[in-house]
Amino acid sequence: MKMKLVPWIREAHGASGDTVFREVNGETIVAAKPGKRKTPSGPNQLAVQRRFAQATDYADMVLLNPALLALYQQVTEKTGKSSYILARQDWFDAPEVSLSDASFSGYKGQVGDLIKFTIRDQIPVNKVIVSLYDDDTGTLIEQGQGVPEVAGSVYWMYTATKPVPAGVTVAIRIEAYDHPGNVGQVAGTKQILQ
C-alpha cells in the first residue's frame, strides 16, 4: 500500500524502534525491522553474503582511490546514484560486448583494416583485448588493445597489424575488463576472401 508521508518521515533513514526507514530509487520505504535468523545460513546464502561483502569492500576501496573515484563521480552526476552504490553495482556486472555483421565489413585480412564493436558498461572499461586466431588450427595471429572510436562512446575498434592470406577463417575474440575485474566477451569469425 502506498501512502503520502509527511516531510520529516520522507527524510528519515535508519531504524526507530521496530521500524526501518530506507531510500530505494528516490523513495522512502518504511518496513518492519528484520528479526534474527532462527536457522543457520545455507551454502548458497553464505555465497551470496560473501559476494555482497566483496562488492562492499570494492566500493570502500573506490572511495579511497581518487583516480578511480573520479570515474564513478562522472557517472554519479548523470544517474543521481552515489559513487559508493555505483561501485557496488559495478562489482556485480560484467561489461556487455557486441559484434554485428557490420563489425567485420572493414576487415579483409590486411594491415590497417578495422574491426568495430560496441561495449556497454556503467563505468568506462579498464582495458579491451582483441585476439585473432586461425579458426582451423587455433594459432594466434595477433593480439592487441581495442580503443574507443570516440572517447566516452560505446563504439570501439581494433586496427589489424598482421596480414592474413586468402582462404583463412579468422576467429575473433574480444574481451572487455571493467575496473572490478569482471570480463565481458564476444567471439565471431570472418573468412578472408581477397
CATH, domain 96-191, list 3.30.420.40, 2.60.40.1220, 1.10.10.10, 3.40.50.300:
2.60.40.1220
How many Cβ atoms from other residues are within 10 Å of residue 41's Cβ? 11
CA distance 61 to 166: 50
- Mean pLDDT for the chain overall: 87
Helix (H, G, I), strand (E, B) or coil at 45: helix
CA distance 84 to 181: 17
C-alpha cell at 141: 595471429
**Is a pLDDT exceeding 60 seen at residue 9?**
no
Q: Where are the alpha helices (DSSP H) in 65-180?
A: 66-79, 83-92
CA distance 73 to 170: 40
C-alpha cell at 4: 503520502
Rg (CA), the chain: 23
CA distance 80 to 58: 20
pLDDT tens, residue by residue, 143-166:
999 999 988 889 999 999 999 999
> Would you kindly state where each structural domain of the chain is located, as residue ranges?
1-31, 41-92, 96-191
CA distance 51 to 180: 12
Q: What is the pLDDT of residue 80?
A: 82
CA distance 94 to 92: 7
pLDDT tens, residue by residue, 97-137:
998 878 888 899 999 999 999 999 988 899 999 999 999 99
* DSSP summary character for residue 80: -
pLDDT tens, residue by residue, 19-53:
787 777 767 777 887 777 778 888 898 898 899 99
3-state SS, one letter per residue, for 167-178: CCEEEEEEEEEC
